[in-house]
């Protein structure tokens, strides 16, 4: 039987929208799209892509920490980006800064809008707990 563990940040949107930030099933962790939310669940850094990217990675680290895994165990990421052409350079800087030498599979979608006005990025991960940390 697979082990299931659920993680939430404890922000209002989790119950309002009816989702979890991450679900572990066996050795895989599926992390919902993370975005630039403060600890209290407020959207921060509207219209500042680089700051949103940094805060989103901070929130992803909170999820990874909960499960006792590291960035090196991320096997894939999916980025949803508003105005992809304008923000591609920031992604090219921010992604390697976050992952270092680790290179997960990555898919980037250009989208017209996300949940909050001024939101420019959302990132989802799949993590394999069996990989070396």
Identify the pLDDT of residue 3.
60
pLDDT at 60: 97
Core vs surface per residue 20-47: b (16+ CB within 10 A) or e? ebbebeeeebebbbbbbbeeeeebbbee
Question: What pLDDT is attached to residue 95?
Answer: 93
Collapsing DSSP states into helix, strand and coil, what is residue 86?
helix
pLDDT grade for 4, boundaries at 50, 70 and 90: confident
Q: Tell me, what's the pLDDT at 14?
A: 87
Name the H helices within the chain: 12-17, 49-67, 84-99
Q: Where do the structural domains in the chain lie, given as residue ranges?
A: 4-128
Q: What is the pLDDT of residue 2?
A: 60
Integer-rounded Cα Rg, in Å, for the chain is: 14
For 6-53, what is each residue's pLDDT tens digit? 999 988 888 888 999 999 999 999 999 999 999 888 999 999 999 999
Per-residue pLDDT tens for 46-77? 999 999 999 999 999 999 999 999 999 999 99
What is the pLDDT, as a whole number, of residue 50? 95
Averaged pLDDT, 103-113: 97
Residue 131 has pLDDT above 80, yes or no: yes
The CATH number, out of the four listed (3.20.20.70, 3.40.50.720, 3.40.50.300, 3.30.1330.40), of the domain defined by the range 4-128: 3.30.1330.40
């Amino acid at each position: 039987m697979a082990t299931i563990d659920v993680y939430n940040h404890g922000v209002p949107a989790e119950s309002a929208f009816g989702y979890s930030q991450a679900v572990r099933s066996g050795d895989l962790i599926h992390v919902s799209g993370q975005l630039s939310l403060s600890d209290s669940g407020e959207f921060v850094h509207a219209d500042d892509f680089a700051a949103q990217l940094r805060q989103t990675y901070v929130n992803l680290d909170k999820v990874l920490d909960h499960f006792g895994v590291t960035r090196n165990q991320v096997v894939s990421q999916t980025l949803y980006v508003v105005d992809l052409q304008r923000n591609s350079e920031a992604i090219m800087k921010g992604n390697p800064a976050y992952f270092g030498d680790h290179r997960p599979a990555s898919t980037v979608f250009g989208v017209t809008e996300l949940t909050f006005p001024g939101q420019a990025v959302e990132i989802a991960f799949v993590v394999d707990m069996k990989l070396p940390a």
